[in-house]
Amino acid sequence: MNWKNKNILFATDLSNDCRDAYSYALNIATACQGRITLLHVIVAQPVSLEKRIKNLFGDERYEEIMREHEQDARLILIGKRKESDLVKAALNKLMEDFSSMRPESLLQEDKILVKKGDVTEEIITTAHEQECDLIVLSAHASAPEESYVSKAIQTIIRLSKIPVTIVPPSGIVQL
């Protein structure tokens, strides 16, 4: 298998546990002269809340309530936009923190994507859209001597048509 110029999708929830996984993805990208797409998914609010409100008041009254609170809705959307900008800034900072690990001669332009939706669905879709060759995810420390692989990660492994690498966090502090 030719690993030259590979595209790697690194999906992160911005937790500290993800730093080791990013370092791993960066090492692979450097070795294969590849590119990393950093992805963070903002979890969408459940549709069930909207459905419950519609069921309670009916479609007409629901629309009236939404019009009355249009200004609040605008502020919420503006807040989500700011949240997206904050996530992009955090991912840029993560790239800066690890920039010394990647020789400039092998440096390729990485992408930062922030999407809203179902985490599993967005990771699988983004890997396909970006023509990625590998997905790198982080396991999370659930106890001092073990790592926890979430249901989302298990689903991604099951649904992905490309390899998925799970990186356990290191440096767990024992109490």
Q: What is the pLDDT at residue 140?
A: 78
Between these two residues, 71 and 28, which has the higher pLDDT value?
28
Residue 162 predicted with pLDDT over 90: yes
What CATH number was assigned to the domain covering residues 7-167?
A: 3.40.50.620
Q: Which pLDDT score, from 0 to 100, does residue 147 have?
A: 47
Q: pLDDT by residue (tens digit) across 19-45?
A: 889 999 988 988 888 899 999 988 866
What is the reported pLDDT for 151?
A: 85
Nearest to 5 by CA among 85, 84, 109, 83: 109
Over residues 3-18, mean pLDDT: 85
Q: What is the pLDDT of residue 69?
A: 64
Whose structure tokens read 């700011």? 82
Note if the pTM is more than 0.75.
Answer: no
